[in-house]
Amino acid sequence: MKQLLVVDLHLESKYKRNFDKLVTRIKEVGGLTAESDFESLTKMDPESLNLTYSGVILGGTEALWTKTVDRVRFVDLIQFLPKVTLPTLGICGGHQALALAHGGSVIKSKSSLVQGFRTVSLEDKDTLLAGLPAKIRVMQSHKEEVKILPPGFVRTASSSDTENEGMKHNERPLYGVQFHPERWNEENQAGRIILANFVHKVALQENLKNS
């Protein structure tokens, strides 16, 4: 099984612990991981990337896409992501980056900060959300959200706080979730199932299909 490339989108090193938590949780569900920051990712050859890894997971970020000084830091990433043909999962800020890269839009959330375990309604329990009930409790921590889905994407989840809690591409293995599946706990295990689904039912199956 090839490694998943987990990409850190944080701008400041003090947030590295959040990225480390994501990597640890991917390993807990059986994923093999390699790590990169977003600037290093954009210097990789897309063809080599697509041959080397089984998938890409874009982590969260403290940056705000509606803030020009933050957004300009990610210009190269937004231009690079459409070249990646691997199965991709965007989480929180990574979900927003994926949307922007493919032609969607991001706005400030209705609330200044959406935080804590919240209820999310699932609208399309395809591969990534397989095995879950109609409503799940997952950890939120965001100030922005995807407003307009990119062409070719459909909504997979929503909540009272956030209209587009989840999205997927109609034809390609591209997924995004606004919440943090890696922050599951004993009472709320949906995030664990989602990460396991991406590792085993999305990335692994796509690689077997194309091998």
CA distance 46 to 30: 25
As a whole number of Å, the CA-based R_g of the chain is 15
Give yes or no: 180 in active site: yes
Got the DSSP string for 127-180? GGGTT--SEEEEEEEESEEEEEPPTTEEEEEE-SS-S-SEEEESSSSEEEESSB
CA distance 196 to 61: 22
Task: Supply 119's token pair.
Answer: 């209820």
H/E stretch holding 106 reads: strand 105-108
Give yes or no: 145 in active site: no
Give yes or no: 182 in active site: yes
Set 142, 169, 180, 206: catalytic member:
180
Instruction: Collapse the DSSP code of 74 into the 3-class scheme (helix H, G, I; strand E, B; otherwise coil) and give the result.
Output: helix
Set 10, 92, 165, 206: catalytic member:
92
* Burial zone of 133 (CB within 10 Å; 0-12 exposed, 13-18 middle, 19+ buried): exposed
Which residues are known to be catalytic? 92, 180, 182
